[in-house]
């Protein structure tokens, strides 16, 4: 099959599935404004599916039977109920960004095979997808979704680090699972506190640095508006704007100090307390999976496979959800996260056996 037609078939199926997804989200959304937006997005995706349907037929291809991605819909609904609309918006934005890149590559690769009308319509599809991404980005800001990253990273770190710790301790204390569980829990709580404090300090420091620079710019603008305008021109040129255009922008904003400072240094919106709580609590959630079996089993070696199974399943679920919502290959993402987590656990177990052999600590 012609690669151009094969990709168009994939686009048709994706757009149809996205149309159904947004319609389903609209059905469960209580907020009237965002519900209407989801319905509008569903209608736009339906229009895109119709374009690809007609495109395939015009080029002599066979239109595939569309299917509903039930696992994706279930996953999105579940995340919506657990984490709220903001986290879903964050993940859907990743999916829209992936679609934009695919469409742009398709447009540039096969442009010479499209009619003028098809070129125009594909560009309109890309513009629609860009508008979708903007909508989800605005929803992120509204619901403070910058902390989704903290939640995902915190849980992943808790899973991987504590799985490695209890696996290594299992080799040292094979007959004392409670000791392994308690040790893992202690390490987990310490790790959660460390992660939370580290996040707090990092976010707070970034905000304080930006505030300090903004104060400096405020003084500079009051003392020498010309120098402030020069710094704005330098910033815009560094960002790729032609120098003449940058100078014109600086002249237009000469009397607006707040606009100049916003361009030079956007305000930091992330809250350090909220970021620390997200990171610390999600780390503890990650700790629970590998630690729990050690409080229920009669020996560490009995608990170990269940610990690995729970942690591996949690890593696979997280990887699957991210893949489903961002357009990344599920197989590759799951393999990446599970392999790194279980690989770390295996190395920790070997190190634990080495320590046990060198110091005979299991007999203590």
Say whether both 173 and 134 belong to one domain.
Answer: no
Say whether both 312 and 166 belong to one domain.
Answer: yes
- How many CB atoms are located within 10 Å of the residue 118 CB? 18
Give the SS3 label for residue 38: helix
Say whether both 52 and 131 belong to one domain.
Answer: yes
pLDDT tens-digit readout, 123-133: 999 888 888 76
Q: Is residue 253 part of a domain?
A: yes
Burial 261-271 (b: 16+ CB within 10 A, else e): bebbbeebebb
Residue 201's alpha-carbon distances to 53, 154, 254, 364, in angstroms, are 52, 15, 36, 40
Name the token pair of 50: 């119709």
Say whether both 154 and 168 belong to one domain.
Answer: yes
* pLDDT at site 327: 55
Say whether both 298 and 326 belong to one domain.
Answer: yes
Q: Is residue 13 part of a domain?
A: yes
pTM score:
0.65
Q: Is residue 280 part of a domain?
A: yes
Say whether both 244 and 277 belong to one domain.
Answer: no
d(CA 289, CA 313): 9
Say whether both 155 and 304 belong to one domain.
Answer: yes
* pLDDT at site 92: 67
Name the token pair of 49: 């599916």
Report the share of the chain in percent with pLDDT over 70.
80
d(CA 74, CA 325): 11
pLDDT tens-digit readout, 310-351: 999 988 877 776 665 555 667 887 888 888 888 888 888 888
Say whether both 164 and 312 belong to one domain.
Answer: yes
Decide which of 143, 163, 178 is a domain's last residue. Answer: 143
Question: 125-129, 145-149, 204-208, 336-340: which has the minimum mean pLDDT?
Answer: 145-149
Name the token pair of 92: 């859907």
* pLDDT at site 181: 94
Decide which of 115, 143, 171 is a domain's last residue. Answer: 143
Q: What angle do CA 301, 331, 290 make, to 5 degrees?
A: 25
Higher pLDDT, 88 or 107: 107
Counting the structural domains of the chain, the total is 3
* pLDDT at site 50: 94
Residue 87's alpha-carbon distances to 96, 112, 139, 195, 209, in angstroms, are 14, 40, 9, 21, 28
Higher pLDDT, 72 or 278: 278
Task: Label residue 336 exposed, middle or buried (CB < 10 Å: 0-12, 13-18, 19+).
Answer: middle
Q: Is residue 126 part of a domain?
A: yes
* pLDDT at site 24: 86
d(CA 157, CA 174): 25
Give the SS3 label for residue 65: coil
Q: Is residue 353 part of a domain?
A: yes
Q: Range of 61's domain?
A: 3-143
* pLDDT at site 219: 75
The CATH number given to whatever domain includes residue 101 is 1.20.1260.10
Averaged pLDDT of the chain? 81
Higher pLDDT, 349 or 51: 51
* pLDDT at site 290: 94
Name the token pair of 137: 């980005």
Are 22 and 42 spatial neighbours (Cβ–Cβ below 8 Å)? yes
Q: Is residue 364 part of a domain?
A: no
The pLDDT of residue 174 is above 80: yes
The pLDDT of residue 19 is above 80: yes
Say whether both 137 and 153 belong to one domain.
Answer: no
Decide which of 120, 143, 166 is a domain's last residue. Answer: 143
The pLDDT of residue 85 is above 70: no
Say whether both 97 and 219 belong to one domain.
Answer: no
Q: Is residue 307 part of a domain?
A: yes
Q: Is residue 341 part of a domain?
A: yes
Say whether both 180 and 41 belong to one domain.
Answer: no
Say whether both 196 and 217 belong to one domain.
Answer: no
């Amino acid at each position: 099959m012609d690669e151009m037609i094969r990709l168009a078939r994939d686009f048709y199926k994706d757009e149809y599935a996205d149309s159904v997804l947004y319609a389903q989200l609209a059905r469960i959304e209580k907020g009237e404004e965002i519900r209407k937006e989801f319905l509008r997005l569903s209608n736009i995706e339906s229009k895109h599916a119709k374009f690809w349907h007609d495109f395939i037929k015009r080029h002599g291809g066979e239109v595939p039977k569309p299917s509903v991605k039930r696992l994706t819909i279930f996953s999105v609904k579940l995340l919506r109920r657990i984490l709220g609309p903001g986290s879903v918006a964050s993940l859907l934005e990743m999916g829209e960004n992936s679609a934009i890149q695919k469409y742009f590559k398709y447009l540039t690769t096969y442009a010479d095979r499209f009619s003028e009308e098809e070129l125009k319509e594909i560009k309109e599809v890309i513009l629609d997808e860009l508008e979708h991404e903007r909508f989800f980005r605005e929803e992120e800001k509204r619901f403070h979704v910058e902390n989704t990253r903290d939640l995902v990273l915190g849980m992943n770190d808790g899973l991987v680090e504590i799985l490695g710790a209890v696996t290594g301790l299992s080799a040292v204390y094979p007959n004392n699972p409670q000791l392994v569980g308690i040790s893992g829990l202690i390490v987990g709580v310490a790790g959660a506190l460390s992660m939370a404090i580290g996040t707090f300090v990092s976010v707070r420091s970034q905000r304080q640095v930006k505030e300090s620079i903004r104060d400096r710019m405020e003084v500079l603008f009051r003392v020498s508006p010309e120098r402030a305008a020069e710094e704005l021109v330098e910033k815009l040129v560094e960002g790729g704007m032609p120098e003449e255009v940058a100078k014109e922008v600086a002249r237009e904003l000469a009397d607006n100090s707040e606009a100049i400072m916003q361009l030079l240094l956007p305000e930091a919106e992330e809250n350090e307390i909220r970021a620390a709580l997200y990171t610390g609590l999600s780390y503890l959630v990650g700790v629970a999976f590998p630690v729990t079996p050690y409080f229920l089993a009669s020996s560490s070696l009995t608990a170990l496979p269940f610990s690995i199974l729970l942690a591996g399943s949690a890593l696979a679920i997280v990887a699957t959800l991210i893949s489903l919502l961002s357009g990344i290959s599920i197989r590759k993402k799951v393999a990446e996260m599970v392999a790194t987590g279980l690989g770390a656990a295996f190395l920790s177990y070997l190190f634990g056996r080495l320590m046990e052999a060198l110091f005979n600590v299991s007999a203590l």
